[in-house]
Amino acid sequence: MISAQTLSTSPISPSHIATSPTSGWSLAPNAPLFEALLVVATVCVALAAVWRWRSLGLATRVVSVVLVEVLVVLSVMTYVNRANDVVTTWTSMTGSTSGLTPKTLSQSDGTGSFGNGINRWRRTRRMQAKDRAAADRSTITSISIGGGPTGYDLPAQVYLPGSYDEASSAHRSYPVLELLAGFPGSYLSWSTGLRLKHTLDTLIRTGRMPAVIAVMPSQNPFPPADSECVNADPSVHSDSRAETYLTDDVPTYLAQHYRAAKGRINWVIGGYSTGGYCAANLALRHPDRYASAIALSAYFIGLRDDTTGRLFKDRKEFEANSPQFTIAKPHPKLAFFTIHADDNARDGRASRHFVAAIPASDAHLAMATASGGHTPPVWRVGSRQAFIWLAHLLRHQPGYADR
């Protein structure tokens, strides 16, 4: 979701966001000059059509009307885009990651401990060789995740690494990535727009990370409403319990049907945009379940707008679901990865404010790209960096390795 983010104590709508300083002479998709040229073209075409209307043939009239309508739609879309700095470069519209080399803003391994227990990020050389050899045989399967406290039965996708079905891995458990989408978006977003299979296969094949299970669940029980991954105020919707579904139903299902590793260190929750807010919020609210959170172009203060309705019954619940506020409260060690594009002012402010509040006991890596706006190319680059960093960080923590 394109959502506002400030350090105020209440959500602000996107219409109140100041745009980033794109040059007035630029023809970038979020530039004032580009918007002005579209508006002028729309007016000129409309006036020309009206002026010559009687002399135009039927086919030309139809073409003129359609052209004006297209230009009006493009003008509105450009205005919305410029107001929110979503698409800031033409290359990002093609899905290209060209020019999106991330830079590190700050990094820390933290002073705290993730605790003892089984650490499935750690592998022997034999296990690593097996993962690498089988990497390209991975699969993504569409399933339905039901049961549990909520009783929901919602669609999802599961990524299984190539080594998962090998006989020698029959008793092996795997770390889990629980990946959430933005809004609008769906459980299909990671496998399509963010090309998750290619990213994980490549990193596993090159030894940058161990084989993992990834689950992409539905996070909005009652679409088209945006749940923000929280349990809504019962007085508004008595059965909107997205938080319970994502942190209880989904992990329980994974444990029952797949060889998902136990222990908080083996569970990562991540997402982009709204999904990034969800990841940070749920990790802080359920640190017994997750030890790490990936927040790509995220916001960190609870939201209310036309797509969400009233989610929280009072200010106390609002703040309890705002990572910017809860990050300062005592919690077990967590690892946070954040990334944003510097040409999206809103995302940059949100990320920097949150990272500045992360306590020294937590681990974190904060990165930024120079451009890319609020688009999938930034999230593809960011997710790759996040997986590499977390795999390196977590496999050096205490615990038992697979054999």
C-alpha closest to that of 121 among 390, 386, 393, 395: 395
- Let me know whether 52 and 166 are in one domain: no
**What's the rounded Cα separation, in Å, for the pair 137 and 163?**
8
**What's the rounded Cα separation, in Å, for the pair 231 and 242?**
6
Q: What is the mean pLDDT of residues 242-269?
A: 97
What is the per-residue pLDDT across 338-389, written as a single tens digit (0 to 9) for each? Answer: 999 998 999 999 999 999 999 999 999 999 999 888 999 999 999 999 999 9
Instruction: State the CATH number of the domain containing residue 166.
Output: 3.40.50.1820
> Is the preceding peptide bond at 184 cis, omega within 30 degrees of 0?
yes
> Is the preceding peptide bond at 287 cis, omega within 30 degrees of 0?
no
Lowest pLDDT segment from 12-16, 98-102, 222-226, 236-240: 12-16
Structure tokens at 177: 């990535």
What does the pLDDT read at residue 205? 97
- Band (pLDDT 50/70/90 cuts) for residue 82 is low
Split into its structural domains, the chain has a count of 2
What does the pLDDT read at residue 402? 56
Lowest pLDDT segment from 79-93, 146-160, 266-280: 79-93
- Let me know whether 69 and 202 are in one domain: no
What does the pLDDT read at residue 176? 98
What does the pLDDT read at residue 29? 67
Higher pLDDT, 43 or 94: 43
**What's the rounded Cα separation, in Å, for the pair 58 and 132?**
63
Q: What is the mean pLDDT of residues 303-314?
A: 81
What is the per-residue pLDDT across 159-179, written as a single tens digit (0 to 9) for each? Answer: 999 999 999 899 999 999 999
- Let me know whether 284 and 222 are in one domain: yes
Domain-embedded: residue 326? yes
- Let me know whether 45 and 112 are in one domain: no
Sign of CA dihedral 150, 151, 155, 158: positive
Domain-embedded: residue 350? yes
- Band (pLDDT 50/70/90 cuts) for residue 398 is confident
CA 158 to chain centre: 17
Domain-embedded: residue 370? yes
**What's the rounded Cα separation, in Å, for the pair 296 and 341?**
10
Backbone dihedral angles phi then psi of residue 98, each to the nearest 5 degrees: -60, 130
Q: Which long-range contacts (CB under 8 A, 24 or more apart) does 36-39 make?
A: 38/71, 38/74, 38/75, 38/78, 39/75
Domain-embedded: residue 259? yes
- Let me know whether 250 and 355 are in one domain: yes
State the burial class of residue 18 (Cβ atoms within 10 Å of its Cβ: 0-12, 13-18, 19+).
exposed
Domain-embedded: residue 6? no
- Let me know whether 27 and 166 are in one domain: no
- Can you tell me which residue has the tokens 């209310």? 304
Lowest pLDDT segment from 57-71, 141-155, 244-258: 57-71
- Let me know whether 78 and 181 are in one domain: no
Domain-embedded: residue 8? no
Tell me if 216 sits within 8 A of 187, measured CB to CB. Answer: yes
Cα dihedral 106/110/116/121 (nearest 10): 10
Q: What is the CA radius of gyration of the chain?
A: 23
Sign of CA dihedral 254, 255, 261, 265: positive
Domain-embedded: residue 166? yes
Tell me if 313 sits within 8 A of 233, measured CB to CB. Answer: yes
- Band (pLDDT 50/70/90 cuts) for residue 17 is very low
C-alpha closest to that of 402 among 136, 174, 200: 174
pLDDT at 23 over 50: no
- Let me know whether 159 and 52 are in one domain: no
pLDDT at 50 over 80: yes
pLDDT at 40 over 60: yes
**What's the rounded Cα separation, in Å, for the pair 182 and 18?**
22
Question: Mean of the per-residue pLDDT values for the chain?
Answer: 86
Domain-embedded: residue 3? no
What does the pLDDT read at residue 20? 42
**What's the rounded Cα separation, in Å, for the pair 91 and 350?**
25
**What's the rounded Cα separation, in Å, for the pair 3 and 304?**
9
Q: What is the mean pLDDT of residues 262-272?
A: 97
- Let me know whether 61 and 110 are in one domain: no
Higher pLDDT, 16 or 373: 373
pLDDT at 213 over 90: yes
- Let me know whether 38 and 165 are in one domain: no
pLDDT at 18 over 50: no
Determine the structural domain holding residue 261 and report its residue range. 103-402
| E strands in 225-314 | 267-272, 292-296
- Can you tell me which residue has the tokens 């075409």? 45
- Let me know whether 360 and 267 are in one domain: yes
pLDDT at 326 over 80: yes
Backbone dihedral angles phi then psi of residue 266, each to the nearest 5 degrees: -90, 5
The one-character DSSP state at 241 is: B
Percent of the chain whose pLDDT exceeds 70: 84
Higher pLDDT, 279 or 74: 279
Interhelix angle 376-395/196-205, rounded to 10 degrees, is 40
pLDDT at 116 over 60: yes
**Residue 253: CA count within 13 A, CB half-sphere:** 28
- Can you tell me which residue has the tokens 């689950």? 215
- Band (pLDDT 50/70/90 cuts) for residue 119 is very high
- Let me know whether 129 and 74 are in one domain: no
pTM of the model: 0.80
